[in-house]
Chains A and B, each alone.
Chain A
Amino acid sequence: MAKGNNSDYKKMIDKHYKDLMKHCQSHMEQVEKTLPEPRENLHELLKERGITRRDFVKWTSAMTAALMLPPIFKPMVAKAAENFSRIPVVWLHFAECTGCTEALLRSSYPNVDDILLETISLEYHETLMAASGYQAKECLDKALRDFSGKFICVIEGAIPMGLDGKYLTIGPKGKTGLEIAKEVTSKAAATICIGSCSAFGGIQAANPNPTDAVSIKKAIGIPTVNIAGCPPNVVNFTGTLLHYIMFGGLPAQDGLGRPIWAYGKRIHDYCERRPHYDASEYVNEWGDAGALKGWCLYKVGCKGPYTYANCGRVRFNEGISWPIMAGHGCIGCTEPAFWDTMAPLEKPLPDKSFNNREATVDNIGIALTGITALGIAAHATATALRHKDEDQATKQEVKHHE
């Protein structure tokens, strides 16, 4: 759009947002009509937990901005939060450490995000549910029957494909993870993969990957929204769910299925230590003078330049801190196969060694250049000897001409 047509551009944007607003409003009405009543009254719950109305409004502003929506959507975000517990959720665990659940549900000072996740209408969650064995299986079957095509399937963990998937069997009937995942996702309205394991395979898919673990997308071949991270930020998960409640669809994603609003820019682009990078001020080893001054962690292996995530903007634990702020480089946990591609985690990328040996690409490069130089010296000497007579012939010719 040309700069001269600024008003046209503004009109276009206004119209776009007005349409979006209309869509949002009609969808919310639909939600209120069709989905079950909210399980809990959010405002009472917030009051109980000592979160004031003012805090809640502040949270809606932050969330609206995080979702890259203009301020007119603030009331809609608040409304979506009130309706948050209407959406039935089935939460599946596969090959993983349950760290994502821990990170999302446990915090010392629960903020609105955490409380929202507590209100979530969890029809099935292996870690949190009281039922076990056959009862648990019944819970899952009931959820699938009651909310077929309406619930959101959240998956935590990769699926081992080796031995026909028998590295992972769950429940009283010993079903494999692959079978459960296929059965549940086929009835879900949408599938959200939480954590790098379900999104990209994670640690069990790292080299040598003994169980042949793969991501949900690769295992079943369905489109998934990947909330990558190890663990991911709670804001990225609640934001995606809020987006789903508000617009009835999942947010725009990049080529790897990560929501662009959260994973559209690199850690490096928004890093608070970035000015030190550009100023050539680096921490050379842990605890040196640069580390005390908060300089750039590039040389102690920060992988921020290769990692798409919004950690620096939203931070963790109610915005208290995040890894780079705490003094350790990014390990690139939102990227596919990061255990392999980002290794070594505390050294710059070129210091990766081959086949578990010591040599890095720079060692090999220097050695090869040295060998080449020696070869050249030898070849030059041999050439001088071999083509000696021609050289003398030329000299004689020159003399002859003189």
Chain B
Amino acid sequence: MEKIISVKEWTLAIRLNHWAMALSIFILIVTGFYIATPFTITQGETVDKFFMGNVRFVHLLFGVFLVFLFIWRIYLAFFSRFHADWKDFLAFTNIKNFIHQIKFYLLITKEGPEYKTLYGPLQSLAYLGLLFMVFVICITGLILMGAGYHAGLTSVAYTILRPVENLLGGLATVRYIHHVFTWFFVLFIVVHIYMAFWYDFVLKKGTVSSMISGNVFKKVKE
């Protein structure tokens, strides 16, 4: 007789981090695209308007938020009390599983590979890529922020990052990289949401709800 049990997969910290990052990234993409190609507000007096200023405030606020969320996520990966998952990010090194996973995604095989890590081989690569994207967007963002604000932690970060700015070839290049990486985030989100639903549909483990409840379902034999 088979029985379905609920197994804990995501710790509370990881779930909080996930949704806080999701919210931040969503807001950052929307405000970011406004800053890149703003529309003009023609009505009213200049003194009464501060739309770009407000949008930039929200963008910077959630940008700094993302920096700290990134640091928190890296901390969790190495020092989480429950499951420090840094090794799971290296699941892609298992070539056999990697190929098997691709076959599974291309619907050649009906069963995916067995792995004990938190992430599958392709997932681990995607999430490593995501962390790299967050890292790059945070660094370039801090440079762009520090160029205009000369006080507090921002100026400390900018003093450290100024050589990086010069190395990349000035603020214009930094700004361009920031813009290009925004598109990577858009593409990631589209694929990530689809894959979560796809897993939910194919494996029927409750993947989508697991990022809220923290639990997935497993079939066990009694």
Binding site for B on A (CB under 8 A): 254-256, 266, 268-269, 275-282, 284, 289-290, 295, 298-299, 303, 305-307, 332, 335-338, 341-342, 348-350, 352, 361-362, 364-365, 368-369, 372-373, 376, 379-380, 382-383, 386-387, 390, 394
Contact = CB atoms under 8 A, between A and B. Distances in A.
B172 interface: yes
Nearest to A299: B38
Dominant secondary structure at the A interface? helix
A307 B170 CA distance: 8
Q: Which 5 A-B pairs have the closest CB atoms?
A: A365-B183, A306-B171, A278-B53, A279-B49, A280-B51
Dominant secondary structure at the B interface? helix
A295 B186 CA distance: 32
B170 A380 contact: no
B220 interface: no
Contact of B172 (A275, A281, A303): A303
Contacts of B173: 341
Interface stretch (B7-15, B68-76, B125-133, B197-205): B197-205
A335 B49 contact: no
A110 to B, nearest CB: 34
A244 B202 CA distance: 74
B40 A372 contact: no
Contact of A268 (B51, B53, B148): B148
A26 B37 CA distance: 56
Given A266-B147, A303-B172, A306-B170, 12 more contacts: A278-B53, A278-B56, A280-B51, A281-B49, A299-B40, A306-B172, A336-B166, A349-B179, A361-B179, A369-B187, A373-B190, A386-B110
Contacts of B49: 279-281
B194 A349 contact: no
Nearest to B193: A376
A159 B105 CA distance: 56
A298 B38 contact: yes
A18 B169 CA distance: 39
B163 A255 contact: yes
Nearest to B40: A282
Contacts of B39: 280
A135 B166 CA distance: 42
B99 interface: no
A337 B169 contact: yes
Nearest to B49: A279
Nearest to A264: B150
Contacts of A338: 170, 172
Given A255-B162, A275-B46, A361 B180 contact: yes
A350 to B, nearest CB: 5
